[in-house]
């Protein structure tokens, strides 16, 4: 699995803003034969072409990073996108890493908070990624939306009550499945979550 710096770069390539995945730049194709496992994409422009990200703030275990989006067809500068994110390693297998990012969007009347996970390829996709806060299971889960040759991406829009649980909690576990019934807990600290979430409005 990629090291933390590379994983953060892939997170930015795959998730800043509310677009699902922009890094691969290719249509998804199904693996031959029906079987469990990740999807792959054709070779395209990857994270190497993603503009450099800038850390603009740190709140506890969370950092806020921003980067410029792609330039417009007329050459106009791309729109800056920012996300709060954190990377964790599995306690039993430090080679397995996972990045969680959260972005805000929508309108003043209908704000949206979207959470996205970047995980290794080879995970079992069918069950998505359930989570808990301080061992209490959260409703719903992050659902996989796409895989590139390097990583798989799962996302979910967060309701206000779910955000409140993250704000009030101490830690959260996201569960990656190697197979049905076989999961790996990925532990993330919620220290600084509320402050980072509020600070996102400033960028």
pLDDT tens per residue across all 203 residues of the chain: 344 445 555 454 444 433 333 332 222 223 322 333 333 334 444 444 556 788 999 999 999 999 887 777 787 777 888 999 999 999 888 888 999 999 988 766 677 899 999 999 999 999 999 999 999 999 999 999 999 998 999 999 999 999 999 999 999 999 999 999 999 999 999 999 999 999 999 98
Report the 3 state secondary structure along 100-141. EEEEEEECCCCEEEEEEEEEECCCCCCCCECEEECCEECCCC
At 107-122, the pLDDT tens digits run 666 778 999 999 999 9
Asked if 190 and 196 touch (Cβ cutoff 8 Å), the reply is no
Q: What domains are there in the chain, each with its CATH number?
A: 4-202 (2.60.40.1880)
**In the structure encoding, which two tokens stand for residue 152, read together?**
């798989």
- Token pair belonging to 194: 């509320």
Phi and psi, residue 167, nearest 5°: -65, -35
């Amino acid at each position: 699995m990629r090291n933390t710096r590379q994983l953060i770069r892939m997170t930015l390539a795959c998730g800043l803003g509310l677009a699902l995945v922009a890094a691969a730049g290719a249509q998804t194709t199904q693996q031959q034969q029906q079987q469990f496992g990740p999807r792959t994409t054709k070779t395209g422009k990857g994270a190497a072409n993603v503009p450099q990200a800038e850390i603009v703030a740190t709140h506890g275990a969370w950092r806020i990073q921003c980067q410029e989006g792609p330039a417009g067809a007329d050459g106009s500068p791309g729109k800056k996108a920012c996300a709060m994110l954190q990377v964790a390693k599995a306690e039993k297998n430090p080679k397995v890493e996972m990045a969680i990012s959260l972005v805000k969007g929508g309108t003043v009347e209908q704000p949206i908070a979207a959470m996205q996970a970047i995980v290794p390829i080879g995970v079992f996709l069918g069950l998505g990624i359930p989570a808990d806060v301080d061992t209490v299971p959260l409703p719903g889960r992050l659902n996989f939306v796409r895989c590139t040759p390097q990583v798989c991406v799962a996302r979910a829009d967060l309701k206000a009550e779910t955000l409140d649980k993250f704000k009030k909690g101490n830690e959260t576990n996201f569960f990656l499945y190697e197979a049905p019934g076989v999961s790996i807990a990925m532990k993330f600290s919620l220290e600084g979550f509320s402050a980072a979430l509020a600070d996102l409005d400033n960028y």
